[in-house]
Structure 1
Amino acid sequence: MIHVLLVDDDALTLELHRTYLERLEGFQVVAECTGARAAVSAILGQPPAEGIDLVLLDMTMPDGTGLDVLRHVRARAADVDVIAVTGVRDAEIVRQMVGLGVAQYLVKPFPFAVFRDRLEQYRTYRDRARETSGPATQAEIDAMLGALRPSAPVPLPKGLSAETLERVTAGVRESTALSAAEAAAALGMSRVAARRYLEHLADAGRVIRSPRYGTPGRPETEYRWQP
């Protein structure tokens, strides 16, 4: 289980991120802070047996910044991973956070699908790091670091929108399997449009096509999320 500290000065944002994490396997919120000083105390004051593995760290708080928090904990050699979750887009801030070892930099606002993907990438990174012992090969190192890099988006064909693609993607991920007709009914779109989005995801390797038998006539194609 990955123990998570949430740091944000907005109560609604804390609640939202807690709700998001509750929908993911392998993560547990163990503490929440609304300020920079409290965050430093929580990170440095946890006994090892109940330690914090990951901090979701906001950048702007009344008593300090995420940079302040990260500088303090790195100066004390705290063994904790950090994902910046913030509305700050300043390139110099991003550079400094990367220099201090953030695993991810996630810009608000974002949908659950983006949050889930970044957290799953982080979990994969931890799994690969745990499975690698002793001197690592170059391939093992590349696999660990590569797990934290978001996959490059596939260019959308003409007529497809990123917003609708995200809705279709979420629909497939949250179901066991969907046909184009089922996706259309669930998402309020035409069957032809739903099929175009599903076929794009299949061509991109994000979903698996398979025939669905047991219905009259030709087998219907169903789409399953590619883990």
Structure 2
Amino acid sequence: MNIAAPITVLVVDDEPIALAAHADYVRRLEGYQVVAEANGMSAALAFLNDPASPAVQLILLDLNLTDGHGLDLLRRIHGLGLVPDVVAITAVRDVQVVRSAIALGITAYLVKPFTFAAFRDKLESYSNYHAVLAGRSHTSQDAIDRALSQLRPTGRLDLPKGMLPETLRAIADWLRTQHSPVSATDAAAGLSMSRVTARRYLDHLVETGSASKAPRHGSPGRPELQYSWHHSPPG
């Protein structure tokens, strides 16, 4: 049985903590191999220009680099005659930047902060896309459609019965902005909903890896659970 070679990855980020964390995220996934970590545009170009460097199939690219913009780096990479796939990993939400990234061929866009679960889902989608087209010199309309559908899934989130995507999004957005752990009672008050409803959605965020929970001690009676959003490393 033929075993597919791992997808080779270059991680580019000028924040040391984020660079190390994102490289570690990749190493936790099957089918990927980190071949280099670059702390900015110059380091990335030096690696890609080195004839001794292994080929790079995928770049995880932060857009806000101290020595240049990620999109400028992508243009320089194209100027070298290289066409790796690119996943933008960035806090940039400006629509024009997103449009420019798409125009330059960015395969996927992951907005900081994010959890490992979100990172894993994005790269699993990319793996499926890569698998459909791998090893082909020619393809078909069906294969192209299947490959693109892996990058741009159109289905709704599969939520437990009775849960609404809009409510889940509202609670997630609210929890993300809290600077200290909060209880279901706090969430209910902040979002004008029942405590039971708030707790159900908060527990779902914990189950999916987007949040964590722990007992809140120091108050009389039974300890109340407190919830915190899982932020990614800075960058």
Return the TM-score normalized by structure 1.
0.68
100, 106, 117: which is aligned to 1:102? 106
Q: In structure 1, how many angstroms separate the alpha carbons of the residues matched to 2:51 and 2:111?
A: 28
The match for 1:64 is: 68
118 and 37 in structure 1: CA distance in 2 versus 1, 3 angstrom threshold? same
Structure 1 stretches of 5 or more lacking a match? 172-185, 190-227
- Tell me which amino acid in the other structure corresponds to 1:30: V
Q: In structure 2, how many angstroms separate the alpha carbons of the residues matched to 1:152 and 1:44?
A: 41
The match for 2:144 is: 141
Whether the aligned pair in 2 keeps the contact of 1:168 and 1:187 (CA below 8 Å) is no
Alignment size in residue pairs = 173
Identity of aligned residues (%): 38
Whether the aligned pair in 1 keeps the contact of 2:62 and 2:89 (CA below 8 Å) is yes
Secondary structure class of the residue paired with 2:37: strand
4 and 100 in structure 1: CA distance in 2 versus 1, 3 angstrom threshold? same
Secondary structure class of the residue paired with 1:51: coil
24 and 67 in structure 1: CA distance in 2 versus 1, 3 angstrom threshold? same
The match for 2:85 is: 81
Runs of 4+ in 1 over 4 A off after TM superposition: 160-163, 186-189
The match for 2:120 is: 116
The match for 2:43 is: 38
RMSD: 2.6
Return the TM-score normalized by structure 2.
0.66
- Structure number with higher relative contact order (C-alpha < 8 Å, ≥ 6 residues apart): 2
Structure 2 stretches of 5 or more lacking a match? 1-5, 168-196, 216-235
Q: In structure 2, how many angstroms separate the alpha carbons of the residues matched to 1:44 and 1:68?
A: 16
Measured against aligned partners, the alpha-carbon deviations of 1:55-87 in whole angstroms (never above 9, x if no partner) come to: 100111111010110011112220311110011
Measured against aligned partners, the alpha-carbon deviations of 1:192-215 in whole angstroms (never above 9, x if no partner) come to: xxxxxxxxxxxxxxxxxxxxxxxx
Whether the aligned pair in 1 keeps the contact of 2:133 and 2:139 (CA below 8 Å) is no
